[in-house]
Chains A and B, each alone.
Chain A
Amino acid sequence: MDCIKGAKFLKTHTVTRNVSISPSIIPFITMMTVDEKKGNLHPYVAPINHNELNNTKTKEIMYSILDYCNSDDTQLSNLGNDGVVLIGFQNKVRLYILYYIFLSDYLY
């Protein structure tokens, strides 16, 4: 699939909508598995981003969010305000069955 075919596919099979999302809601609508004993969370993403997560970049943004930049008088990094997301639906019954069959050892 090339870029043109990809764009045509998206035009045919999706609709787009602009919405405002409060950052503090994002973890609630991010797919996560839970380790209840340890209280840890394991986030997952759909394979739709060409980029791979870079630890330094993430920490740079976290450093800006936590406003440490102001305390050491360096310029606040610009986070940008726009994003593009895909919305999906998890059929929890099917998901839990899969967890039970394949992933129960790994999860807990």
Chain B
Amino acid sequence: MINMKVLNLLTENKDITTTLFPLDEDFYENCFDQEFTDLLKCDGTTPEGRTAIAKYFNVHSQWNEFDHNCDFVEDYHKLLMLVKTNSPNNNVWISFVEGLHRHAAIIACLLCANFDIKTNALIPGSLELQHFVDAGVHHIDTVGNTTITPRQQLCTMISNRNASLLTTPMNVQVYIPSDIKCDPHCLMKALKLQSELISTAKLNSAQLSLSLAISKYLRGLVKEDNQPRQKQRKSGNNRQPKFGHKHLFQEHMAELPKYIAKVKKHNGDYSSMGFSPSILCEEWRQFINNPSDPTARDNYFNIVCPSTTKKKTHDHPPYLLDFGTLASDDTQYDKKTKLRALDASQVNAHVLIPGILHAMNTKLANNDKSKLGLGDNTRLTNMIDFVVKFYTMRKFPTIQLHAAYRHYFPEDTKETKLLQGLEGEYRIIPVALFLTTLYNASFLFDESKSKKNLLVTALDCFELESTVPNEVFMSTMSKSVIYHTRISKQSFHASF
């Protein structure tokens, strides 16, 4: 026995109890016979369909005695009442695992009924236009000039054979119990979980996933009509653009006091510390506040990109990179001042990192359960500053955390010396660094020399097989399995 719930929750009525399994063990094996399958396809909006329904439910003789000189709503209601009260065959029921609202709406429409909230009663013909207004249906604010009642509307649609949403068959997947000795309460629980899973999957497919949100930003950076980029690839011109802004590579520093002392020594002047003007200017601040704003982006590009002359035209970042020519030009480095001009991969990072961090933060902050979003724009821009400096101002790729991290984020008290040790909302730092590295590497090592970036394609296809929860995406992109293996091996040897 199982408890059947009232369809309308607000009702004060109690639930009722019914059986799930028949006494006949073969029932479920044979229930979808031709007769029942034909019944499911019957169109009850036509007189012929209603006659066929009456025949199936064995109330045909009574049905023929009724006066059918009435509208559809009344005729359909009469048949339904007859089946529910007099049919000896009325012993099969269905209940929707997925499609609860459709279920309720279809029943209410066919009876043109409004639910009585207190009694769970469907009162045939009681539906008025005002009920839509009261329920807050967004299409209408007031009944206005519409004079056609729902009942008139329904009957006209039925007589004109125009009620496609009530006549087109629905494709449904039916769960048929195969073991009538199983615990019906467990079956109910399992189906409820299934219902939740289907709903979550539908919701996820409707929303932009984390990987798609990032790829959307990356794709948006490259304009389709980018002629210089196409010319560059076609002509085999691998020369990288030269940038005027220079910076000093920063030494690794693990202790916070040392870093603070260095900042004090330069009186907090980041320019004298060797930071590139391109990440200290006002245009940079405006750009990282909203990387999707085309005006802020163009203003920043005008600052950082080489100027366009009549002879030379330079396209906007992100730039196509070439392994052979990137950063091999000695003229880019000043031995006296140790200042080095920015290269194309670093400018790419300037453009990519703000957008990647914004996209990730927006997705994660909207998901309260994950608690991975920052929520605060100042912290986000600080993070962008830190990640850009970390990527562009180190001599070689490293996973060691710089002391500046503690300066930027004193609230993170978790002890770690490595990027992958960052937890919670700070995990977007290693993810952004990794994605930027992958983006540049995709251009550097793409032998096909396509102007499409392989990372963007990979992110687009990330969830083709199955949905990847945000937590899994963040873990996958921020942890190094190889490093963990090495550490565990070292720990193993050290223990001996």
Write the residues of chain A forming the contact surface with B, with a CB cutoff of 8 angstroms: 1-3, 5-7, 9-10, 12-36, 38-69, 71-72, 74, 79-92, 94-95, 98-99, 103, 106
Chain B residues with CB under 8 Å of A88's CB are 2, 18-20, 92-95, 177
Nearest CB in chain B: distance from A31 CB, A: 4
Q: Give the distance in Å from the alpha carbon of A80 to the alpha carbon of B135 in the complex.
A: 22
Q: Which of B84, B171, B188 contacts A20 (CB 8 A)?
A: B171
CB pair A47 B5 closer than 8 Å: yes
Q: Which of A50, A64, A86 contacts B196 (CB 8 A)?
A: A50
CB pair B42 A25 closer than 8 Å: yes
Q: Is B426 close to A, CB under 8 A?
A: no
21 contacts between A and B (CB under 8 A): A14-B175, A18-B174, A20-B171, A24-B44, A40-B119, A40-B122, A41-B81, A41-B84, A43-B7, A44-B15, A44-B18, A50-B196, A58-B115, A61-B101, A65-B165, A67-B165, A81-B170, A84-B173, A84-B194, A91-B18, A92-B88
Chain B residues with CB under 8 Å of A21's CB are 40-41, 169-170, 172
CB pair A17 B108 closer than 8 Å: no
Q: Give the distance in Å from the alpha carbon of A14 to the alpha carbon of B105 in the complex.
A: 28
Interfacial residues of chain B within 170-185, with CB under 8 A of chain A in the complex? 170-179, 182
Chain B, residue nearest A34 (CB): B84
Chain B residues with CB under 8 Å of A106's CB are 13-14
CB pair B139 A72 closer than 8 Å: yes
Chain B residues with CB under 8 Å of A52's CB are 9
Write the residues of chain B forming the contact surface with A, with a CB cutoff of 8 angstroms: 2-9, 13-23, 27-28, 31-32, 37, 39-45, 49, 53, 57, 76-77, 80-81, 83-85, 88, 90-111, 113, 115-117, 119-124, 127, 131-132, 135-140, 146, 148, 150, 153-154, 157, 162-163, 165-179, 182, 186-199
Chain A residues with CB under 8 Å of B132's CB are 59, 62-63, 68
Q: Give the distance in Å from the alpha carbon of A14 to the alpha carbon of B138 in the complex.
A: 40
CB pair B42 A24 closer than 8 Å: yes
Nearest CB in chain B: distance from A48 CB, A: 4
CB pair B192 A49 closer than 8 Å: yes
Q: Which of A35, A49, A56, A94 contacts B98 (CB 8 A)?
A: A49
Q: Is the interface of B mostly helix, strand, loop or mixed?
A: mixed
CB pair A10 B194 closer than 8 Å: yes
CB pair B121 A90 closer than 8 Å: no
CB pair B191 A10 closer than 8 Å: yes
Chain B, residue nearest A62 (CB): B105
Chain A, residue nearest B90 (CB): A92
Contact A22:B97 (CB < 8 A) given known A43-B107, A53-B8, A90-B19:
no
Chain B residues with CB under 8 Å of A80's CB are 99, 102
Contact A18:B4 (CB < 8 A) given known A25-B42, A31-B93:
no
Chain A, residue nearest B57 (CB): A28
Chain B residues with CB under 8 Å of A94's CB are 19
CB pair A43 B91 closer than 8 Å: no
CB pair B111 A46 closer than 8 Å: no
Q: Which of B80, B102, B192, B194 contacts A83 (CB 8 A)?
A: B102
Nearest CB in chain B: distance from A6 CB, A: 4
Chain B residues with CB under 8 Å of A34's CB are 81, 84-85
Nearest CB in chain A: distance from B442 CB, A: 36
Contact A19:B174 (CB < 8 A) given known A24-B110, A24-B167, A42-B120:
yes
Q: Which of A9, A49, A84 contacts B190 (CB 8 A)?
A: A9
Chain B residues with CB under 8 Å of A54's CB are 101
CB pair B165 A44 closer than 8 Å: no
Q: Which of B57, B122, B166, B194 contacts A43 (CB 8 A)?
A: B122
Chain A residues with CB under 8 Å of B178's CB are 13-15
CB pair B53 A87 closer than 8 Å: no
Chain A residues with CB under 8 Å of B92's CB are 29, 87-90
Q: Give the distance in Å from the alpha carbon of A28 to the alpha carbon of B87 in the complex.
A: 11
Q: Give the distance in Å from the alpha carbon of A40 to the alpha carbon of B108 in the complex.
A: 12
CB pair B91 A89 closer than 8 Å: yes
CB pair A49 B100 closer than 8 Å: yes
CB pair B96 A60 closer than 8 Å: no
Contact A24:B84 (CB < 8 A) given known A83-B170, A90-B93:
no
CB pair B199 A50 closer than 8 Å: yes
CB pair B175 A82 closer than 8 Å: no
CB pair A49 B97 closer than 8 Å: yes
Nearest CB in chain A: distance from B295 CB, A: 33
CB pair B175 A16 closer than 8 Å: yes
Q: Which of B110, B154, B194 contacts A6 (CB 8 A)?
A: B194
Nearest CB in chain A: distance from B332 CB, A: 56
Chain B residues with CB under 8 Å of A65's CB are 105-106, 109, 163, 165-166
CB pair B166 A23 closer than 8 Å: yes
Which among A3, A36, A40, A58 has the greatest number of chain B C-beta atoms within 10 A?
A58
Q: Give the distance in Å from the alpha carbon of A44 to the alpha carbon of B154 in the complex.
A: 24
Nearest CB in chain A: distance from B122 CB, A: 5
Chain B, residue nearest A32 (CB): B84
CB pair A45 B186 closer than 8 Å: no
Nearest CB in chain B: distance from A95 CB, A: 6
Contact A82:B193 (CB < 8 A) given known A43-B120, A60-B137:
no
5 nearest A-B pairs in the assembled complex, by CB-CB distance: A24-B44, A83-B99, A61-B105, A6-B193, A48-B191
